[in-house]
Amino acid sequence: MKNNKLSHRVLQSSITSVLAALLCIVIGMAVGFLVLLAINPAHAWGDGFVRILKGGFYDAPYGVGKMLANAAPLVMTGLSVGFAFKTGLFNIGAAGQYTLGAYGALYCAIMLKLPWFVCLLVAAILGGIWGAIPGFFKAYFNINEVITSIMFNWIGLYLVNELVYQNGTGPMYDVRNTRTLNLGKSADYAQSIIPDFGLNKLFQTNSTTIAIFLAAIVAVLIWVVLNKTTFGYELKAVGLNKSAARYAGINEKKNIILSMAIAGALSGFGAGLFYLSNVGQWNPLNSTSLPAMGFNGISVALLASSNPIGTIFSAIFISHISVGGTFLSTKYYPTEIADLISGIIIYLCAFSMLFRGKIQKMLFKNADKTNVNAEPAPAEKANAKKEGK
């Protein structure tokens, strides 16, 4: 009986979350359309808005393959940020962890010629170490993880650029392309590329691998860890109330560091998925901007209200509109319109709690009002599980 009521409430809150996300998307798209109108009214609909809406399908199957290839690392950085959110931390350092992951994956692939799954593992470990450092500063010096993560984003970027470039003599560096060596160009690296099982043929691309499925599997794993294990429960408890968690006998310092390390590992893994699918190569001469994948992960996580399963869909959506942006004719519009739209969507997500409250009030007027504004109530779900046993 009680369980029934609880699951009903969980269902309600997930419906509200999805509706709130959709509302953010609709408003964001509408503002994007207005911008298109302002720049070039004559082409705003057919050559502008429709192309963004169609995304990869504008040039199927190639565009769809490209969209999936970009979505895989986005799922991972989204999971990284979302996982940290669930444990009460804001991992703005996904970009730096991603950078380190990229280095780990490429070093193992190019220098050590290891098989792809080992490369992925190393990418995750390096990302995890880079995530654990801000966790350490948070746990032992009580420095806000946001500041530390931002610092380590830049330290990571300069460090990796230095390691790869080495004044142009780095063995991983290809002088002609000013990028790291292209994994697809030489048979030496074939074992380091994630297998595609015919996906490349299907989509007529050369970078669509099983990466998206690997990312989806990890998303499910993270969902299980967060919702069905004691370990996940402890991590969330520390996030909800540090002092209460310590009182309950949880080692809160260890858990903060672990949370950040796992979040970092997820980002690093994402970088591995990107570079080992050979979607692109690392450019060590770019020392002024961090990989956008890390920051887009924040959008993905917010849009999914940090739900690991939701992350898969929101990553595909963000990837969908940014691929759509690349199909805009540069004669009429800059491709950054897609970034603009996703920027507006995240800004709206920042107060989606408010939307959620309003929607819930509208839809479920008669439902009990105890939990109107709360997160999808992780603690309650965990409680329900305990009571069930």
Partner 1 sequence: MLLLIKYTLLYGIVLMLVALGGMFSEHSGIINIALEGIMVIGGVAGVLTLTMLPSSMSPALVVLISILVAALAGVVYSLLLAFASINLKADQTIGGTALNLLATAIAVVIAKYFSDSGSAKLNYSNKAFLFSIGGLELSVFVPLGIVLLVISYIVLYKTRFGLRLRACGEHPQAADSVGINVYKMRYAGVLISGALGAIGGMAYIVPPVQTWNFEVGVAGAGFLAMAVMIFGQWKPFNICAAAMFFAVFKSLANIADSTFLAQFHWSSNIYNMMPFIASMIILAFTSKNSMAPKAEGIPYDKGSR
CB of 114 to partner 1, least distance (A): 26
CB of 155 to partner 1, least distance (A): 5
Site string for partner 1, 180-219 (x = CB under 8 A): ----------------------------------------
CB of 210 to partner 1, least distance (A): 30
Q: Does 27 bind partner 1 (CB under 8 A)?
A: no
Q: What is the rounded distance in angstroms from the CA atom of residue 172 to the CA atom of residue 41?
A: 47
Give the one residue of 4, 169, 243, 288 binding partner 1; rule: CB under 8 A.
288
Q: Does 351 bind partner 1 (CB under 8 A)?
A: yes
Residue by residue, DSSP assigns 334-385 as -TTHHHHHHHHHHHHHHTHHHHHHHHHHHH-TTS-STTSSS-S-HHHHHHHH
Residues near 297 by beta carbon (within 8 Å), at least 6 away in sequence:
74, 76, 77, 78, 79, 80, 81, 94, 267, 270
Give the one residue of 34, 190, 309, 354 binding partner 1; rule: CB under 8 A.
354
Q: Does 337 bind partner 1 (CB under 8 A)?
A: yes
Other CB atoms closer than 10 Å to residue 62's CB: what's the count? 14
**Total residues contacting partner 1 (rule CB under 8 A)?**
47
Q: In the complex with partner 1, which residue's Cβ is closer, 331 or 389?
A: 331
CB of 4 to partner 1, least distance (A): 33
Q: Does 334 bind partner 1 (CB under 8 A)?
A: yes
Strands, E, within the chain: which ranges? 173-174, 179-180
Q: Does 237 bind partner 1 (CB under 8 A)?
A: no
Site string for partner 1, 135-154 (x = CB under 8 A): --x---xxx--xxx-xxxxx
User: Can you say whether the dihedral through the CA atoms of 272, 273, 276, 279 is positive or negative?
Assistant: negative
Q: Does 350 bind partner 1 (CB under 8 A)?
A: yes
Q: In the complex with partner 1, which residue's Cβ is closer, 188 or 336?
A: 336
DSSP code, position 197: T
Nearest to 376 by CA among 326, 308, 299, 290: 308
Touching partner 1, residues 30-49 (CB under 8 A) = 35, 39
Distances (CA, A) of 353 to 20, 183, 361, 378: 8, 44, 12, 15
CB of 5 to partner 1, least distance (A): 28
Angle at 298 between CA 297 and CA 301, to 5 degrees: 85
Site string for partner 1, 53-82 (x = CB under 8 A): ------------------------------
Q: What is the rounded distance in angstroms from the CA atom of residue 242 to the CA atom of residue 112?
A: 43
Contact 77/293 with Cβ under 8 angstroms? yes
CB of 110 to partner 1, least distance (A): 20
Q: What is the rounded distance in angstroms from the CA atom of residue 132 to the CA atom of residue 171?
A: 29
Q: What is the rounded distance in angstroms from the CA atom of residue 320 to the CA atom of residue 21?
A: 16
Integer-rounded Cα Rg, in Å, for the chain is: 22
Give the one residue of 4, 167, 243, 366 binding partner 1; rule: CB under 8 A.
167
Residues that bind partner 1 (CB under 8 A): 35, 39, 90, 92, 137, 141-143, 146-148, 150-155, 158-159, 161-162, 165, 167, 287-290, 295, 298-299, 302, 330, 334, 336-337, 339-340, 342-344, 346-347, 349-351, 353-354
